[in-house]
Amino acid sequence: MLGLGLIATAALADEQRISFPANYKTQFQNYLSLDRVQNDDQIIRLFANDAAIEAAKQGRELPYGSVIVGEVYKAKTDEDGKVVTSSLDRRIRDKLAAIAVMEKGEGWGDKFPENLRNGDWDFAIFSPGGERLNKDLNACRSCHAPLAKTQHLFSLEHLAQ
């Protein structure tokens, strides 16, 4: 029985219900850019669609169809491989490494075990050119799962500004 559960979870990790939002740079709002807290060699620029922004500004739960996009950049490094920071002590952006997408869909969370459930949010990771990357999305799910009080987002309060 346990083996079937593991197979089901692995199959869910491969489910491709999120498409690359090719128009995010022109149709979404860039609401936050910062050094990535979880990775000391990355910078992230966050974008959200109108549905997510309007709900956040009104203090409501983000509706189905909300999409958050994170452009993940490598931080610039010196010749010794150490991260370079600016005079503001911020990392300096280098190459775009990946584009992470969170999208909320009706019933999407129902199939995940409790420790990977993010309400009805799910995740996808794409190359800078928009090709789906074969990454373990359970790492994203488990990192965001404890954030139920902020709708599984690290940046909800910024989205509402």
What is the pLDDT, as a whole number, of residue 35?
95
Of 21, 14, 74, 82, which Cα lies nearest the Cα of 52?
Answer: 21
Q: What is the pLDDT of residue 9?
A: 43
Q: How far apart are the first and last CA of the chain?
A: 47
pLDDT of residue 37: 84
- Tell me, what's the pLDDT at 128? 97
Q: In whole angstroms, what is the distance from residue 84 CA to residue 97 CA?
A: 17
Please indicate, yes or no, whether the overall pTM of this predicted structure exceeds 0.85: yes
Q: Give the per-residue pLDDT at 16.
A: 84
According to DSSP, residue 1 is labeled -
Q: Report DSSP letters for 41-60, one per residue.
A: TEEEEEEE-HHHHHHHHTTP
pLDDT for the residue 15: 66
Neighbouring C-beta atoms of residue 73, cutoff 10 Å: 22
Handedness of CA 111, 116, 122, 128 (dihedral sign): negative
Alpha carbon separation from 28 to 1, 31, 119 (Å, rounded): 44, 9, 22
Q: Which residues pair with 73 in a beta bridge?
A: 43, 96
- pLDDT value at residue 18: 96
Domains plus CATH for the chain? Answer: 2-159 (3.50.70)
**pLDDT by position in tens, the chain (length 161):** 444 444 444 444 456 899 999 999 999 999 999 999 889 999 999 999 999 999 999 999 999 999 999 999 999 999 999 999 999 999 999 999 999 999 999 999 999 999 999 999 999 999 999 999 999 999 999 999 999 999 999 999 999 98
